[in-house]
Amino acid sequence: MALRIPKNTLPQLFKDGYKFQQGVEEAVIRNIEATHELSEVTRTSLGPNGRNKMIVNHLEKLFVTNDAATIIRELEVVHPAAKLLVMASQQQESEVGDATNLVLVFAGELLEKAAYLLRMGLHPSEVVQGYELARDKALAILEELSIDKVNSLTDANEIKKAVRSAISSKQYGYEDLLSEFVIESAMNIMPKNPKDFNVDNIRVVKIMGSSVHESKVVRGMVFGREPEGNVQNVTKAKVAVFTCPLDISQTETKGTVLIHNAQEMLNFTKDEESQVEKIFQELADAGVKVVVTGNGVGELALHYLNRFNILVVKVLSKFDLRRLCRVIGATALARVGVPMAEEMGYCDIVETVEIGGDRVTVFRQEDNDKSRTSTLVLRGATQNHLDDLERAIDDGVNVIKAITKDNRLLAGAGAAEMELNKRLQAVADKTPGLNQHAIRKYAEALEVIPRTLCENAGMDATEVLSRLYAAHFQEGGAGATIGVDVENDNDGTLDAVKHEIFDAFYAKYWALKLATDTALTVLRVDQIIMSKPAGGPKPPKQQANWDED
């Protein structure tokens, strides 16, 4: 007879303080509950009518946004299973830049459906197997559902088809205005081969005041500060870029100078001045009209720069300094001195412009081919509003990047999800064995997108979904593009293609893939073993009223 090992031996393996959970009830269901909580947080922010979240992070910075990527970045999620969802969403953000909320919501819903199957008696491995089949089938069907494509990346109307929906899900009401800004910026920098399109070349500068309608696109770079010296405007300028401070160089060792009389004092300072003058004299002789520094400018240096009519700008961000070098074709030097001809940059116009009471410096290239950067100057009433507008623009630009990789489009407004639901239901009907239950639940989980769109718009979700089902199950597939009408004008449903509501195929493809893979990872977990956190008890906080008797 085999020796039976007692059940409670596991705690003896580890040090004291280990937490240990196992089995469907303790591990799987608990993980599902945690992930569901997280997806419920962002679910109300999905779509054009998605509500904003007000988040105060650990640095007491306030965020008011409905952008899922920002919400989960600022929420410090501790639960390990929920962290998997956060990672998948961040991967979607880095891969596509849009549809991060779709990953969270869909993964949460898949796990919620899986919990039902587990309670019905299916084993987690059977659910996993069914979900894997459903995922492969869903991605294959998605290929068939593309109904349009962006034919030309040089035609503003073609690009607008993809960009408009992405922006309206963040800034409903401003989608046409912001789409025009995004498209104009993209067209300014669109390379000959659209696959080389770089998101980083579209910059956003936020200036408080006025309204969104006063925003504008500038070809070139805008810095939110004015030049340091007296020179404000220069044209056809050679530019020298330095990362070091423009100041008298400090020696590494300290020395003591003994001065006997006033004449020696004058000679000492004169020598220093002539040295600084020589540096800037050489710059002026080399034809440099603009100097950009990533550090401070000394008073003596500023005096000579003004004397030689050289415009000097401080750019404190090293990333902006690199971008500027790319725009003007310069090399950033780590020492003060005359740059060689190939290290100098060239800019057609460097000017100081006043925008809403703020003076900004603009580096502009007149020639189309030379301008590799476009800047969108955003205006708005509050800093939070400007930040949210920037996130919407960021999504729009990322969608353009997505369509350079894959130009196919799907019907938006939840129509693609409903059609996918219908096709997967048909697949489930033909699948033998236990897998059919998991495939059916996967199909039902896709319902969450149109349902959430309805709920966030304040509509009766059950009623609208029944109309969507009726439309999509018509003979001949006539209702394949019927989606949710968030304005609730026409029974809550509309034809997404006629209303030009499209989703980028690339974003949807990756969102479904990442969401399913995350759900499968969570379902494959059957034990949770957590060690005791490091460190002793936290020190007592100082009392607020410590100085009162």
- Tens digit of each residue's pLDDT (9 = 90 or more) over 305-361: 777 787 888 877 778 788 778 777 778 777 777 778 777 788 777 888 777 677 788
pTM for the whole thing? 0.80
Q: What is the pLDDT of residues 241-264, one digit of tens each?
A: 888 777 666 555 667 777 777 777
Q: What percent of the chain is modeled with pLDDT above 70?
A: 87
Q: Is the pLDDT of residue 7 over 70?
A: no
Domains and CATH numbers, the chain: 9-147+411-530 (1.10.560.10), 216-380 (3.50.7.10)
Three-state secondary structure call for residue 502: strand
Rounded mean pLDDT of 191-217?
79
Residues 6+ apart with CB under 8 A from 312: 227, 228, 229, 231, 246, 290, 291, 292, 293, 297, 302, 305
CB 258 within 8 A of CB 310: no
Q: Where does the pLDDT of residue 18 fall: very low under 50, low under 70, confident under 90, or very high at 90 and above? A: low
Q: What is the pLDDT of residue 1?
A: 47
The string of DSSP letters for 435-488 reads: HHHHHHHHHHHTTHHHHHHHHHTT--HHHHHHHHHHHHTSGGGTTTTEEE-TT-
CB 519 within 8 A of CB 21: no
Pairing of strands 311-314, 288-293: parallel
Q: Is the pLDDT of residue 8 over 70?
A: no
Nearest CA to 280 out of 225, 229, 210, 218 is that of 229
